[in-house]
Chains A and B, each alone.
Chain A
Amino acid sequence: MAYKIITSQCTVCGACEFECPNAAIRLKNDLYVIDPKKCTECEGHFDAPQCAEVCPVPNTCVPA
């Protein structure tokens, strides 16, 4: 149970990185990636996954 980032659509704005309550998102070779081991889809934290809520590009932070 985790989210992933469709890198071809990502603008690399970094909003997801600092909204993630699990510090599961980091910059790797100039692209943001979600660590599936850390991602909880924000369960227990928020009603909806924060990365998908804040992401400016539709369908870019999606269930893996």
Chain B
Amino acid sequence: MAQLINLGTLTPTAAQDMRVALTGDGGCSSSSCGSSDGPSDLPPEIWEKVKDHPCYSEEAHHYFARMHVAVAPACNIQCNYCNRKYDCANESRPGVVSEKLTPVQARRKVITVANEVPQLSVLGIAGPGDACYDWNKTRETFAQVSQDIPDIKLCLSTNGLALPDHVDEIARMNIDHVTITINMVDPEIGTKIYPWIFYRNKRWTGLDASRILHERQMLGLDMLTARGILTKINSVMIPGINDEHLIEVNKVVKARGAFLHNIMPLISDPAHGTHFGLTGQRGPRAHELKALQDQLSDGTKLMRHCRQCRADAVGLLGEDRGQEFTMDQLADEVSYDPSRRETYREVVAQERGEHMKQRRAADAVLAEIETEAPVLVAVATKGGGRINQHFGHAREFQVYEVSASGIQFIGHRKVENYCEGGWGEDATLNSTIEALEGIHMVLCAKVGDCPRESMGAAGIEISQAYAHDWIEAGITGWYSATFGMEIRQTA
């Protein structure tokens, strides 16, 4: 897969090689290497907890990878956006998985991945099913893996119904990241999302179901907050049902101590066989999602880099290497070798110190530019915080909004319709043009003349002038040049 940072063939101690793989060139040559200040808006103890977690830190997601293991398939609620029978290897969305694992199999898989993917920092259990309801399997998996890999971050995702029963054990096991999916704080709205729940040996429906779920979610969140466990709230944005209500959800969860709020667009396709898919409930359009996120961004930590990944995803957020690590490809006996992960961490500590400095420098340059309307820039990157991917290899672009007030990461656009099977170059390009609607500029490591001309005809410029630069430095360079300032070196 061209998408990956190719670290697969390196020897364990090849720090310089890893650096080359990460930067696309010789990399960090500045004397300032090694500083790794956190961002100014986070207390140091929180930064320490999130700095290697790709789902909790936008900055970390350039460097670190997660893996999910599908060990807890049983669930205690039914959501209208979920069809538990569905499975497709080409499908990337929550709850979808090809292979369910036992805790013992999961241990083998995690160790194999840790040996081969040095970016791995997080092990998550996030469906299909509910990690707290199917608790015995969740607990056993975490216990097994952390015996072998003590520094791996454990994280789980839950609908919250069974959460209060296990918070003490979650705290004891050092699971310091928990995600609760909260789609409403008003049970009336909940009735349109949850047809039933199973609680205390009984199936509940209607308002009762949503009221119980809501109370348990709030209790669970309070208990996590009281124990200092970082809690992320996922909310599925369902137009016409809870889209405006999510503003209220945001207020409530923030007041109860949630660390991060992640608004995810409803994925709704009749082919998935979900209730919403079959009844024609549509998902939000990209601009609707952004408008809601913008409304909530004031004073709240909002996650915008979520890829809604599969329940068995492996790798950096923008990629999925899950198919490389199916059970039939794993050795029967595995033992963990920490050397590659350790080497990678040393390289990243240096790289991101430099990256952070570049971000501040970019902001300083932008601050001097006369006010212009914000523009959207799409970047082709395979990780490491750099513009380092060929245009034609990109399966997604990271989108940044740039204005005189700075550069803000606002999301990603996927550009391939790989479920269709067989597509011509022109067809792909047309879908790329469509996916990049509203983008002014695409920065990439390399682009051919032909796609550049076609994209140009559609009003989207592409440049390889900033190949292998830091993303922020490249964007700043282009923005300054375009909006009437001479390019200043920010290195």
Contacts and interface: CB of A to CB of B under 8 A. Distances in A.
Interface of A: 9, 11-15, 18-19, 46-48, 50, 53-54, 56-57
B201 A11 contact: no
Interface in B31-54: none
A56 B78 contact: yes
A15 B72 CA distance: 10
Query: What is the size category of the interface that chain B forms with chain A?
Result: 10 to 19
A47 to B, nearest CB: 7
Given A48-B202, A50-B201, A54-B203, A11 B84 contact: yes
Nearest to A54: B198
A27 to B, nearest CB: 10
A47 B100 contact: no
Contact of B128 (A9, A13, A47, A48): A13
Interface of B: 73-76, 78, 84-85, 100, 128-129, 133-134, 136, 198, 201-203
B203 A57 contact: no
Given A12-B73, A56-B78, A48 B203 contact: yes
Contacts of A13: 73-75, 84, 128-129
B189 to A, nearest CB: 22
Contacts of B75: 13, 15, 56
A53 B100 contact: no
B73 to A, nearest CB: 4
B198 A11 contact: no
Nearest to B87: A11
B80 to A, nearest CB: 12
B74 A18 contact: yes
Contacts of B136: 18
19 contacts: A11-B84, A11-B85, A13-B75, A13-B128, A13-B129, A14-B74, A14-B134, A15-B74, A15-B75, A15-B133, A18-B74, A19-B198, A46-B201, A48-B202, A54-B74, A54-B76, A56-B75, A56-B78, A57-B85
A15 B76 contact: yes
B84 A57 contact: yes
A57 B384 CA distance: 43
Given A11-B73, A54-B74, 6 more contacts: A9-B85, A13-B84, A15-B74, A15-B75, A46-B202, A54-B76
A3 to B, nearest CB: 15
B134 A47 contact: no
Contact of B100 (A12, A50, A56): A12
A50 B76 CA distance: 12
A53 B78 CA distance: 12
Contacts of A48: 202-203
Contacts of A50: 201
Contacts of A18: 74, 136
Contact of B198 (A14, A47, A53, A57): A53
**Which interface residue of A12, A15, A56 has the most chain B CB atoms within 10 A?**
A56
A63 to B, nearest CB: 17
Contacts of B202: 46-48, 53
Contacts of A53: 198, 201-203
A13 B84 CA distance: 9
B203 A56 contact: no
Contacts of B78: 56
Contacts of A56: 75, 78, 84
A21 to B, nearest CB: 9
A56 B129 CA distance: 10
> 5 smallest A-B Cβ distances: which pairs?
A15-B74, A13-B73, A53-B203, A56-B84, A54-B198
A9 B85 CA distance: 8
A17 to B, nearest CB: 8
A45 B214 CA distance: 27
A47 B202 CA distance: 8
Nearest to B78: A56
Nearest to B129: A13
Contacts of A46: 201-202
